[in-house]
Amino acid sequence: MRDYPENELPYIKFKDVSFSYPGERENLIFKCNFTIKKHGFWMVVGKNGSGKSTLLKLINGIINPKNGFIQSNANIGMVFQNPDHQILMPNCRSELLININKNLSQKEINKKIEYVLDQVGMTGFEKRPIHTLSGGQKQRLTIASALIGNKNFILLDEPTALLDQTSQLKVLQTIKNLTSDHKKPLLALWITHRYEELTYADAVAELKNGFLSSWQEPSKFQYN
């Protein structure tokens, strides 16, 4: 895991980024340019197969651009669609422990666990076995794992796709609270194909036919 200065603001910059999977002639992402250098709740919307997950893989460096370049100083955390593919341990505390800085004292560790569970609205869940959590609670635990691992930029790939509406709204509200926190606001990029989620965002862009539109306020966002 890369260390980063506590007070340095995370940013990501795409400059003329194009990408196609091996064997594919057509670019899935074409000359993509954008910069995010401010905390907040950013959303990218796009239809199935438009390349949303590929965009996230480019951001977190799992794949590299064919052309153009990407710059970032962020310490990136991921939240996937299915938390069962991500959570490894049998209870909340042990799951958080595998993501924490091991040099902390026992007292500091306990304090941090309490703090991040509180931040995602799961106060008192420390000893809860994972199999007793709802889908939405599991998603909020994966967000807590990113927070306890000092991630300052969280990428969420359709995190509510498997949730009912009540859980969906709780996860949306959790990210909304974290990204608008007065003391240490988070940077989050949320991928969705559910247009009703866009109202939670500070800025929205659409990925379509390989192009990412400019960022717009959700109230002014028009999709084609």
Binding site for ligand ATP (CB under 6 A): 21, 28, 46, 48-54, 193
Find the radius of gyration of the CA atoms of the chain: 18
The nearest distance, CB 168 to Mg ion, in angstroms, is 17
Work out how close the CB of 214 gets to Mg ion at its nearest, in angstroms, rounded to a whole number: 22
Using the minimum distance from each CB to Mg ion, give the nearer residue, 136 or 159. Answer: 159
How many residues are given for the chain? 224
Selection from Mg ion, ligand ATP, none that 93 binds (CB < 5 to 8 A by kind) is: none
* Alpha carbon distance 192, 110 (integer Å): 34
Closest CA to 141 of 129, 152, 41: 129
Q: Which is nearer to ligand ATP, 68 or 185 (CB)?
A: 68
- Which entry of 24, 95, 108, 158 is annotated as an active-site residue? 158
HSE value, Cβ hemisphere, 13 Å, CA-based, for 47: 6
Residues 11, 188, 206: CA angle, nearest 5 degrees = 90
Minimal distance in Å, beta carbon 123 to ligand ATP? 33
Decide if 171 contacts 120 (C-beta within 8 A): no
Core vs surface per residue 26-41: b (16+ CB within 10 A) or e: ebbbbebebebeebbb
The CB-of-157 to Mg ion minimum distance in angstroms stands at 6
Pick the closer one to ligand ATP by CB: 53 or 67: 53
Please give the backbone phi and psi of residue 192, each rounded to the nearest 5 degrees, phi first: -150, 160
Binding site for Mg ion (CB under 5 A): 52-53
Cβ closest to Mg ion, residue 28 vs residue 201: 28
- Identify what 193 binds: ligand ATP, Mg ion, none; CB under 5 to 8 Å per kind: ligand ATP
Distances 222 to 7, 135, 188 between C-alpha atoms, Å: 35, 31, 22
Residue 69 contacts which entry, ligand ATP, Mg ion, none (Cβ below 5-8 A, type-dependent): none
Pick the closer one to Mg ion by CB: 45 or 141. 45
Number of other CB atoms surrounding residue 126 within 10 Å: 15
The angle subtended at Cα 189 by Cα 60 and Cα 220, nearest 5°, is 140
How near is the Cβ of 30 to ligand ATP at its closest, in Å? 13
- CA torsion through residues 201, 12, 97, 84, sign: positive
6 belongs to the catalytic site: no
54 makes contact, choosing from ligand ATP, Mg ion, none, with CB < 5 to 8 Å by partner type, with ligand ATP
The residues annotated with a catalytic role in the active site are 158
